Amino acid sequence: MVRLETGQFYSFFVSLQDEYILGPGDSLIFNLQGGRNEVFYQKVKKDGRLYLDFTAPILVSGKTLAEVKNDIEKIVKSSLTETEVYVSIN
């Protein structure tokens, strides 16, 4: 948290988190809501990929969290009916 001149506090956590570059061993939280409701954790494997049961392996190592979120949102939209996904670092 950072205190602004106005006296308000501002958190840089969200923007910094999105710029984080993923690599093997990083753990992500997936929150599926809608047609499929589920919360699960998945680690990036040694080969730099995520292995999710609703899609082929996804290469995420070297990408920012924002890029991975975007990729996974597209995959969920095309493969899971009426389901939204929220992704964050564990």
- Residue ranges of the alpha helices (H) in the chain? 13-19, 65-79
Name 88's bridge partners.
29
Using DSSP's 3-state secondary structure scheme, residue 2 falls into strand
pLDDT in tens, 39-90: 999 999 999 999 999 999 999 999 999 999 999 999 999 999 999 999 999 8
Tens digits of residue pLDDT in 51-61: 999 999 999 99
Beta strands in the chain (DSSP E): 2-3, 9-10, 27-34, 38-43, 49-50, 58-59, 83-89
- How far, in Å, CA of 60 to CA of 21, rounded? 9
What is the pTM (predicted TM-score) of this model? 0.80
Q: Given the structure tokens 């992500």, which residue do they identify? A: 28
